[in-house]
Structure 1
Amino acid sequence: MLSQASDPQVIAGGGLGDAGAAPWVARLDRFLGHLIEIPVALLVLAEVVILFSGIFARYVLNTPLIWSDELASLLFLWLAMLGAAVAFRRGEHMRMTALVSKATPRTRAFLEVFAVTAALAFVLLVLGPSLHATHEESVITTPAMGISLAWRTAALPVGLAFMAVFALLRLYKAGNWRPVAASLLLIVIIGALLYSLTPTFEDLGNYNLLIFFVGLVALGVFAGVPIAFSFGLATYAYLLLSTTVPVSILVNRMNEGMSHLILLAVPLFVFLGLLIEMTSMAQRMVAFLASLLGHVRGGLSYVLIGAMYLVSGISGAKAADMAAIAPVLFPEMKKRGADEGELIALLSAAGAQTETIPPSLVLITIGSVTSVSITALFTGGLLPGAVLGVMLCLVVWWRNRRENLDDVPRASKPEIFKGFLVALPALALPFVIRTAVVEGVATATEVSTIGIVYSCLIGILVYRRFDLRRIYPMLLETASLSGAILLIIGAATGMAWALTQSGFSSDLADFMGSLPGGGATFLCVSIVAFVILGSVLEGIPAIVLLGPLLFPIAQELGVNEVHYAMVAVLAMGIGLFAPPFGVGYYAACAIGRVEPAKGIKPIIGYLCSIGIGLIIVAAVPWLSTGFLK
């Protein structure tokens, strides 16, 4: 299983507690915890204030703040890295524990220590390059504020240093130095063995991709090493042992991947989701939706699918879309007896289903790197997403066809109408957010702050549910969860860059273009290729990598470019949310706070259903092009 522990004294559900630890260790741990928790909570709050101030100044006062985005970007990397450190201290970095949990107690104790030791090894390996990167950035200043970029990049070594200290404290708390020494020795042996094979790696070419990005990643993941650190170690080893590229480039790619301003929507939507629950807006919405579909077998599952379709694309980040939906529906669905694994599987599958819903950053990226009209892509993306939604609904119907709802009464029309009036302020939230984006009031990054301010006002003035004492824990939870997600994205960005530089993309394009069978064969191979690439690259890096190469080939073979775009994006979406490598699946698990091992079995059926839907979309071009002018 893949776990995310909630106990701050346990690393990812492992057995590294405080038993036998000296009192000074516990005091130091608490002191360092407060040292980063207070600033990171303030950073979340600061991002909300800065971005909303930018909206207010631009739209109401008509005097744009030219520095708001710049300051938000500078603080965002600090939020990501300090949040990742908080997540490390709390044991909330995602990792696969399917094999670990089945091991003997002695082996399990060793693997728990090995997971921390491997994470420590990666942190120490990139700490030096991160300091060097900070020094290099010191001579560059931001255009609006004139601040040295070193103030932003310094977040990397600071966050890494905190993680290193927390890892050392965890190892000290283990009490038994034998597994610590054994795990250190094993890491040294693996490193020495790989280093001794450097001449062999230099002659293997792209076969190294299988060794490092499949073999080494799988070894780390199934040994229980947190996902982000498994990705990072594999990329570091690949760059060091099989290329002449300096390993410092990994730090730069992680910096780029974690600090992309659009990803700021992730922590803001996470906080919005917590705020919706705290102000009881979520309860009002769920109560009304339950009155409509609560008596239907799997009713709230249909609501989840429809909500993802409506909300998808608002933030520009799939993790943020899921963060806007899961906190609203999951608690009530669990109360009604829904299995956690089923919930996380459906959330992930719905994330893959809605990849083509505009405004989608992936579609915008396709339009920017190819000659395809973005307007045409937005028009063509609605129906394919709906087709996959219907396929998911069929699975929901089948799995819930025998659900016993004898004790669930059907709401009367007056009850439904009353529930609608009570829930109306809460139900208006998605429309407020989408209208703000469509009308140009706010960018995809800023729009969540409108939702936050709106939710605060509704909670205070309408529902009269706003507990100030819960704000600080919510800010911490937001930072920790976001840091865990963003570190995975940063490590995956580094791995994506390494794949790009290997020349693998050009070789793949040449191979696909030479296949017999014309457009049909090309579509079939493209589906397989994009599913695989989507699991390791995500949508935007994969499109930037292959879009300029494959879209001209599709056009030459008579495949409509909009149709090909829909097929490619949906295939990447399936890969993105397919375990064990799909980064989106881990993000869904983190957002839903569910052990993803529980979702691996039920997600198979959902992925198969949207896979069939993808085949239907590929076989019927009209679904993508029928509404184009």
Structure 2
Amino acid sequence: MDAHGASLPGSADLSPTALGRLARPLERALGTVVSFFAAVLVVSEVVILGAGVTARYVLHTPLIWSDELASILFLWLSMLGAVIALQRGEHMRMTGLVTRVPPRAQALLEAVAITASIAFLLMILPHALEYAQEENFIVTPALEISNAWRAAALPVGIGLMLAVALLRLVRFGSWKPVFAAAALTALVIALFWLAGPALKPLGKLNLLVFFVGVVALNVFSGVPIAFSFALATFGYLALTTSTPLLVMVGRLDEGMSHLILLAVPLFIFLGALIEMTGMARAMIQFLASLLGHVRGGLSYVLIGAMYLVSGISGSKVADMAAIAPVLFPEMRQRGAKPGDLVALLSATGAQTETIPPSIVLITIGSVTGVSIAALFTGGMLPAVVLGVALCFVVWWRYRGEDLSHVARQPKRVMTKLALIAAPAIALPFVIRAAVVEGVATATEVSTIGIAYAVLAGLLIYRQFDWRRLPKMLVETASLTGAIIFIIGAATAMAWGLTQSGFSRDLAQAMASVPGGHWGFLGISIVAFVVLGSVLEGIPAMVLFGPLVFPIAKAVGIHEVHYAMVVIFAMGIGLFAPPFGVGYYGACAISKINPDEGLKYIWGYMLALLLGLLVVAAVPWFSIGFLKT
């Protein structure tokens, strides 16, 4: 198993048969071709968005087609990246059960991880082809080309993933578990299909069957998270509704095409550049000189760094991608456990959800009518409260850390390190200033960071290894594909929940809870922790914001205060395993097995929950600085 905990089977025990030997060069050749085009797409996105910023702000002649072209290429990048991730075994999956069963059962579960993925790809491929054909009649507004050029990325990507998965199955170490897994997968699908007429009358109980039962069964069996979500959604729509499955492809497309997500690959690439150019080393040396002699010092730096950069990109995954590669190597050298690192990174993701310019805050303002300026003002201090709660956990865990080998740096050395690190430390402020001053959007601003890092590496730090660029570009594409494919599958699942009427029923149930505004706050925390574990912040707020905010106002809760409470509750659900998508995003960014973080994350989640209760109980933290 690789560091991601996502290794698909066949990597440890490759088939020595002639068929297996034939599959290996085919898989390698396919991977090389896909990696080349994916790397070209990453470079293209940087160039296109950078050109858009330059044309609009420097030349004062905006390129009306740049965002549209970037969006088209982004879907292709995400799908090709998902293909690379499947080939490299980098799709997120939980392997806690898989690694604890006897070898024979483990081989079977590993094979099931592939056959279940193949089953979904086979079932969705015809609908993806139909979707691309339907999009052929739509003309894009700026480029005036058929939207099929963009939509074709879905069937092409799904077809390539299917080819890669089949090749990995051929390379499996033994045919016996492969045939057993294929038979088991086919049997389960057949049983569900035969049970379809009995499932339809169950109504909303099917939500438990598919979105709890099927998801849990797949996740704990080691099926990649994205495919677990997708299989449950496909089954629910196909067997219990009359919805055309073409719609599911559309929801996958919608989830993977949100323009703000373009920041993900660009910030992942920026993080790699920061490390390669020596900016990371300069920054770490300075930060270590300040807090290195303090027990758990770099963990405090991680909490503070996420607070500083959070919201700049509009994507929490992109924020983590900018921080983790900088801090984690030094923290590992100081003895920090990988599981603790990814657990703290996940916790800071939830802690900083309310830092402006948060896209979730903007979404709440747009769908509920609450002042976005008030939300921005109210979001700063509650994040500090939760940050302090995390610092207590860090203090407790590292109170016995041996720092006898770490000497406190003299002021002269600290000053020198500060001067060296100044260009690197300035980067987050340059990026934030570009957003605030309107130079670039939250999506485009990462290109400014990339340009800044390239110039700093070439001119200031004199460290730029051109030979590493191809590998960095492919890794960026792979990580992007793994993350965005999960988000697409989660968006489709969220749509399925919405169509069931679940959102309306939930709002009515919450309104009937006794206890006035305290009872409503309590049930809101519970509900949004659960919702956060299956929905991204933006879909959840679009679905439930207009329903629950009027109820909060009616029971006497300030809208800004309520917004902070539900955002943090949703953040805790989003970054808490086993269902929280954000947790797997943190694992993907960190290249750490999801299982390793389970031991450590609950302490941080408890601290966040206690911090949330403080924020909920003391409205001043949210509204104390608002203009009356």
- By the TM > 0.5 criterion, same fold? yes
Q: Deviations over 1:12-46 (max 9, x none)?
A: 68645353354432221121111111000000000
In structure 2, stretches of 5+ residues that fail to align are none
Where does 1:289-304 land on structure 2 (aligned, <5 Å)?
Answer: 289-304=287-302
Instruction: Work out which of the residue numbers 343, 346, 349 in structure 2 matches 1:345.
Output: 343
Q: Deviations over 1:74-117 (max 9, x none)?
A: 10000000000011011111111111011111111111111001
Please say which of residues 313-322 and 24-33 is displaced more in the overlay. 24-33
Q: Partners of 1:571 and 1:195 in 2: how far apart?
A: 37
1:418 and 1:13, CA in 2 relative to 1: closer, same or farther beyond 3 A? farther
Q: Deviations over 1:118-153 (max 9, x none)?
A: 001111111111100000001111111111110001
1:458 and 1:13, CA in 2 relative to 1: closer, same or farther beyond 3 A? farther
Q: Partners of 2:200 and 2:166 in 1: how far apart?
A: 35
Instruction: Work out which of the residue numbers 384, 397, 412 in structure 1 matches 2:382.
Output: 384
Moved over 6 A (4+): none
Where does 1:430-509 land on structure 2 (aligned, <5 Å)?
Answer: 430-509=428-507
1:251 and 1:213, CA in 2 relative to 1: closer, same or farther beyond 3 A? same
User: Is the aligned partner of 1:19 residue 2:4?
Assistant: no
The residue identity in structure 1 corresponding to 2:565 is V
Q: What is the SS of the residue equivalent to 1:25?
A: helix
1:550 and 1:609, CA in 2 relative to 1: closer, same or farther beyond 3 A? same
- Whether the 8 Å contact between 2:314 and 2:359 is mirrored in structure 1 is yes
User: Is the aligned partner of 1:604 residue 2:602?
Assistant: yes
Please say which of residues 241-250 and 432-441 is displaced more in the overlay. 241-250
Q: Deviations over 1:441-475 (max 9, x none)?
A: 00000011100010000000011100110000000
The residue identity in structure 2 corresponding to 1:345 is A
Alignment correspondent of 2:322: 324
The residue identity in structure 1 corresponding to 2:280 is A
Q: Partners of 2:230 and 2:246 in 1: how far apart?
A: 12
Q: Partners of 1:341 and 1:325 in 2: how far apart?
A: 16
1:415 and 1:13, CA in 2 relative to 1: closer, same or farther beyond 3 A? farther
1:344 and 1:66, CA in 2 relative to 1: closer, same or farther beyond 3 A? same
Please say which of residues 288-297 and 183-192 is displaced more in the overlay. 183-192
User: Is the aligned partner of 1:126 residue 2:132?
Assistant: no
Alignment correspondent of 1:428: 426
Q: Deviations over 1:410-466 (max 9, x none)?
A: 000001000000111111111110100111000000011100010000000011100
1:535 and 1:12, CA in 2 relative to 1: closer, same or farther beyond 3 A? farther
Please say which of residues 281-290 and 20-29 is displaced more in the overlay. 20-29
Alignment correspondent of 1:31: 29
Q: Partners of 1:542 and 1:440 in 2: how far apart?
A: 28
Q: Deviations over 1:252-296 (max 9, x none)?
A: 101110111110100000000000000010000000000000000
The residue identity in structure 2 corresponding to 1:246 is P
- Whether the 8 Å contact between 1:96 and 1:221 is mirrored in structure 2 is yes
Please report how far the alpha carbon of residue 195 of structure 1 lies from its aligned counterpart in structure 2 after TM superposition. 1.8
User: Is the aligned partner of 1:98 residue 2:96?
Assistant: yes
Q: What is the SS of the residue equivalent to 1:627?
A: coil
The residue identity in structure 1 corresponding to 2:170 is Y
User: Is the aligned partner of 1:519 residue 2:526?
Assistant: no
Q: What is the SS of the residue equivalent to 2:51?
A: helix
In structure 1, stretches of 5+ residues that fail to align are none
Alignment correspondent of 2:183: 185
The residue identity in structure 2 corresponding to 1:606 is Y
- Whether the 8 Å contact between 1:113 and 1:171 is mirrored in structure 2 is yes
1:544 and 1:368, CA in 2 relative to 1: closer, same or farther beyond 3 A? same
Where does 1:529-544 land on structure 2 (aligned, <5 Å)?
Answer: 529-544=527-542
The residue identity in structure 1 corresponding to 2:297 is G
- Whether the 8 Å contact between 2:53 and 2:444 is mirrored in structure 1 is yes
The residue identity in structure 2 corresponding to 1:68 is S
- Whether the 8 Å contact between 1:388 and 1:613 is mirrored in structure 2 is yes
- Whether the 8 Å contact between 2:351 and 2:568 is mirrored in structure 1 is yes
Q: What is the SS of the residue equivalent to 1:138?
A: helix
User: Is the aligned partner of 1:158 residue 2:149?
Assistant: no
Alignment correspondent of 1:107: 105
Please report how far the alpha carbon of residue 320 of structure 1 lies from its aligned counterpart in structure 2 after TM superposition. 0.5
Alignment correspondent of 1:64: 62
- Whether the 8 Å contact between 2:9 and 2:168 is mirrored in structure 1 is no
Instruction: Work out which of the residue numbers 366, 369, 373 in structure 1 matches 2:367.
Output: 369
1:16 and 1:374, CA in 2 relative to 1: closer, same or farther beyond 3 A? farther
Where does 1:402-421 land on structure 2 (aligned, <5 Å)?
Answer: 402-421=400-419
- Whether the 8 Å contact between 1:123 and 1:164 is mirrored in structure 2 is yes
Q: What is the SS of the residue equivalent to 2:486?
A: helix
- Whether the 8 Å contact between 1:3 and 1:94 is mirrored in structure 2 is no
The residue identity in structure 1 corresponding to 2:350 is A
Q: Partners of 2:233 and 2:484 in 1: how far apart?
A: 17
Alignment correspondent of 1:221: 219
Q: Partners of 2:169 and 2:590 in 1: how far apart?
A: 29
- Whether the 8 Å contact between 1:3 and 1:12 is mirrored in structure 2 is no
- Whether the 8 Å contact between 2:15 and 2:174 is mirrored in structure 1 is no
Q: Partners of 1:130 and 1:443 in 2: how far apart?
A: 31
Q: What is the SS of the residue equivalent to 2:137?
A: coil
- Whether the 8 Å contact between 2:4 and 2:594 is mirrored in structure 1 is no
Alignment correspondent of 1:140: 138
Q: What is the SS of the residue equivalent to 2:112?
A: helix
Q: What is the SS of the residue equivalent to 1:96?
A: coil
Q: Partners of 1:201 and 1:620 in 2: how far apart?
A: 46
The residue identity in structure 2 corresponding to 1:250 is M
- Whether the 8 Å contact between 1:16 and 1:171 is mirrored in structure 2 is no
Q: Deviations over 1:553-575 (max 9, x none)?
A: 01110011110000000000000
Where does 1:390-405 land on structure 2 (aligned, <5 Å)?
Answer: 390-405=388-403
Q: Partners of 1:137 and 1:602 in 2: how far apart?
A: 46
Please report how far the alpha carbon of residue 2 of structure 1 lies from its aligned counterpart in structure 2 after TM superposition. 9.9
Q: Partners of 1:18 and 1:456 in 2: how far apart?
A: 44
* TM-score of the pair, normalised by structure 2: 0.98
Aligned residues: 626
Q: Deviations over 1:365-400 (max 9, x none)?
A: 100110211011001111110100000001101111
Please report how far the alpha carbon of residue 189 of structure 1 lies from its aligned counterpart in structure 2 after TM superposition. 1.4
Q: What is the SS of the residue equivalent to 1:314?
A: coil
Q: Partners of 1:348 and 1:24 in 2: how far apart?
A: 41
Instruction: Work out which of the residue numbers 575, 578, 581 in structure 2 matches 1:580.
Output: 578
Please report how far the alpha carbon of residue 172 of structure 1 lies from its aligned counterpart in structure 2 after TM superposition. 1.1
Aligned-residue CA RMSD (Å):
1.3
Q: Partners of 1:367 and 1:375 in 2: how far apart?
A: 9
